Amino acid sequence: QDSSGELDVRKITLAELSFIGVYTYTTADLRASADALYRGALGDLSWVEHRPLADGPTAFQDLDAGRTAAAKIVLLPE
């Protein structure tokens, strides 16, 4: 994706901040992934747990603390 931004390197240095970048996918990639999920083309997804959206904070805490065997938790709107 084409995007740019500015960072105040002086403030970053003085505050001893660290930045970790992540790659974001295109809209076409997201659509293809959603389509593959919808068609069941990704095979066995028993490693994915589903929870209501309202349980989001608890889901992240459970993942962080290792209280769930799931590798991923999908939050579903109610």
d(C-alpha 73, C-alpha 6), whole Å: 34
Question: Which pLDDT does position 25 carry in this prediction?
Answer: 82
Half-sphere exposure of 34 (CA within 13 A, CB side): 7
pLDDT tens across 45-57, in order? 988 999 999 999 9
Helices (H), 1-78: 9-14, 27-39, 56-65
Q: What is the pTM of this model?
A: 0.52
- pLDDT at 22 exceeding the cut of 80: no
Question: Which pLDDT does position 21 carry in this prediction?
Answer: 74
